[in-house]
Amino acid sequence: MISSLRRAVLIVLLAALALSHNSCAVIAWLAAQFSPPEKVAPEYQPARGKTILVFVDDVLNPVSYEPIKIELANLVGEHLLAAKVAGKTIPYSRLADLIASTPKFNLLAVSEVGQRLGADIVLYVQIDEFALRDRSARQLWRGKLRTTVRLVDVEAGRLWPTDRPAGHVLPAVETPTTVETSSTQADEITRSLAGQMSDQIAKLFYEHKRPRRPDWSPQDQ
């Protein structure tokens, strides 16, 4: 059943269709709006039941706010468990303990980190850019996060992507610009960025649905 609001929108758009010089494009757009979501295949589907370590690293671009690594790692792990991509995940606290107790931790290979923590697979998330404030106006809050990911088997080595040595680059996520002065603003922005990015990362590894995206919209007229 189409809701009354969507029915009203449809009527208006059908009227616009009658006056349009690009009726075929309008029909295609309408079809997308009222079609069921499309299925999106995973970029890579690891073997089920494996223990996965989500290793969020900032060695190349040190972050100014450490909680982003914890929040992002925990949320990605939750998504992987919920989608049954992972049989088990390694708590971030164990990774933090290993980092603290290993003087030359940054010299360890990603696979070795996974081996030491008992993981089968490491989902390595490299932070390329992280900001809480607008670069052009430091008094304004504006969050941004960019990451690159790769999947590594602790025994066999790189699983995915095999054609991009640096890894798979994900689109940046951002939060709106605000002048909010709340003492919790950094935490709120961090949660928002981690929530958006963790969803993108996890969906690389399982089939999911998204709204259909027509190539044309009425705004193009």
pLDDT in tens, the chain (221 residues): 445 666 666 556 555 655 555 555 555 555 555 567 788 999 999 999 999 999 999 999 999 899 999 999 999 999 999 999 999 999 999 999 999 999 999 999 999 999 999 999 999 999 999 999 987 777 899 999 999 999 999 999 999 999 999 999 999 999 999 987 788 999 999 999 999 999 999 999 999 888 766 554 444 55
Please indicate, yes or no, whether residues 23 and 58 belong to a single structural domain of this protein. no
Q: Are 201 and 214 contained in the same domain?
A: no
List phi, psi (to 5°) of 180. Answer: -50, 135
Residue whose C-alpha is closest to residue 117's, from 134, 131, 96, 133: 96
d(CA 184, CA 180): 10
- Helix/strand number for the chain, H first, E second: 6, 9
Assess whether 70 and 30 both reside in one domain.
no
Quick check: is 85 in a domain?
A: yes
Tokens of 146: 């960019």
In 185-206, which positions are buried (b, 16+ CB within 10 angstroms) versus exposed (e)? bbeebbbbbbebbbebbbbbbb
In a domain, 95, yes or no: yes
Distance CA 191, CA 198 (A): 10
Give residue 18's domain range.
4-41+209-220
Q: To which residue do tokens 């164990």 refer? A: 94
Structural domain count, the chain: 2
In terms of domains, do 59 and 137 share one? yes
Tokens of 15: 């009227």
Q: Are residues 79 and 169 in the same domain?
A: yes
Residue 146 carries which side chain, given as an amino acid letter?
R
Q: Decide if 46 is inside a domain.
A: no
72 and 121 share a domain? yes
The C-alpha atoms of residue 106 and residue 68 are separated, in whole angstroms, by: 19
Looking at the structure, tell me whether residues 77 and 156 fall in a common domain. Answer: yes
